[in-house]
């Protein structure tokens, strides 16, 4: 099973600032990496697939990068609606699909 | 628009059973692989099970293998999760989700639409 590790667990950022979230895989997942956003009481929402491709309707301020075992999600200028928990997930070698533990982006 | 609506959650004693349903609309259900993902209270996401678009392949997390059964009825646009021998640690919100496909290509395991979830609580 591929273990996904996200850091930091919590990120405190001011509105308008850049946020950089990290995700590491225990073995290579190539570019089969997705990012999701989850707000309280809501289902997760797909942001990025293929490590760097934005899903339909996702604003350009969200960008993904990386391949192999190291990945980054960058939010270029945080808006109020972006404060949420973000999960990375690999789909290269499954079952099982595996998710990271999440990074909570909170208002500084 | 795509809609996934789960139902069937509730409170059950350890060792009991629940059957979850996920009603799909707004897309060609019979063309997409479907998943169940769960989230224990205050915890992260855990993948539970997958079924291929035609029901020919099914995969399970080790934590539920032999106790949970995923199935689908393409004539009713509905996905199911039969949960037997339930344990306290199975308590979670259960989401159904579909595989993401775009431009004629499917990215199996990336999940683009999720339902709102249904809470299953296992408690004595």
Residue B104: predicted pLDDT: 83
- Smallest CA–CA distance, residue A47 to chain B, in Å, is 9
Compare all CA atoms of chain A with the CA of B64 and give the residue at the minimum distance.
Answer: A96
Spatial CA neighbour of A47 closest among A37, A60, A33, A61: A37
Diameter over CA atoms, chain A? 39
What average pLDDT does this structure show over A64-86?
96
> Which residues 6+ apart lie within 8 Å of A59 measured at CB?
none
Q: Please say whether the beta carbons of B88 and B12 come within 8 A.
A: no
B61: tokens are 């997390």
Nearest to B100 among A46, A95, A102 (CB): A46
Give the whole-angstrom CA distance, residue A102 versus residue A94.
20
pLDDT of residue B95: 98
Q: In the prediction, which pLDDT does B103 show?
A: 82
Rg (CA), chain B: 14
pLDDT for residue B107: 85
Q: What is the pLDDT of residue B101?
A: 87
What's residue B102's pLDDT? Answer: 83
SS3 state at A88: strand
Nearest to B45 among A45, A46, A99 (CB): A99
Residue in A3, A95, A101 to test binding to B, most B beta-carbons within 10 Å: A95
Query: pLDDT digits over A5-38, tens only?
Result: 999 999 999 999 999 999 999 999 999 999 999 9
Q: How confident is the model at residue B58 (pLDDT cuts 50, 70, 90)?
A: very high
B108–chain A Cβ distance below 8 A for any pair: yes
Q: Does A32 touch chain B (CB under 8 A)?
A: yes
Those residues with Cβ within 8 angstroms of residue A42's Cβ, 6 or more apart along the chain or in another chain = B116
Q: What is the mean pLDDT of residues B45-67?
A: 97
Contact of B109 with chain A, judged by CB distance below 8 Å, is answered with yes
CB A50 within 8 A of CB B107: yes
**Beta carbons of A55 and B112 less than 8 Å apart:** yes
Task: For residue range B72-116, list pLDDT tens digits in order.
Answer: 999 999 999 999 999 999 999 999 999 998 888 888 899 999 999
User: How confident is the prediction for chain B on average, in pLDDT?
Assistant: 96
Cα distances (Å, whole numbers) of residue A33 to A76, A79, B77: 20, 24, 28
> Of B28 and B107, which is predicted with more confidence?
B28
Rounded to the nearest angstrom, the minimum Cα separation between A36 and chain B is 9
């Amino acid at each position: 099973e591929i273990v996904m590790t996200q850091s930091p667990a919590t990120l405190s950022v001011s509105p308008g600032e850049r946020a950089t979230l990290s995700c590491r895989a225990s073995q290579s997942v190539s570019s089969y990496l997705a990012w999701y956003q989850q707000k309280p009481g809501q289902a997760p929402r797909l942001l990025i697939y293929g490590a760097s491709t934005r899903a339909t309707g996702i604003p350009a301020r969200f960008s993904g990068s990386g391949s192999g075992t190291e990945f980054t999600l960058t939010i270029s200028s945080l808006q109020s609606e972006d404060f949420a928990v973000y999960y990375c997930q690999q789909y290269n070698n499954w079952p099982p699909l595996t998710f990271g533990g999440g990074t909570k982006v909170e208002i500084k | 628009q795509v809609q996934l609506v789960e139902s069937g959650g509730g409170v059950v004693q350890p060792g009991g059973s629940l059957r979850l349903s996920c009603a799909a609309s707004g897309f060609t259900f019979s063309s997409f692989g479907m998943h169940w993902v769960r989230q224990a209270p205050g915890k992260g996401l855990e993948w539970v099970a997958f079924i291929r678009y035609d029901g020919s392949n099914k995969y399970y997390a080790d934590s539920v293998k032999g106790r949970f059964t995923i199935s689908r009825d393409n004539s009713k646009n509905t996905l199911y999760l039969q949960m037997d021998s339930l344990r306290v640690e199975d308590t979670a919100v259960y989401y159904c989700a579909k595989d993401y496909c775009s431009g004629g290509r499917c990215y199996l395991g990336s999940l683009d639409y999720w339902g709102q979830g249904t809470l299953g609580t296992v408690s004595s």
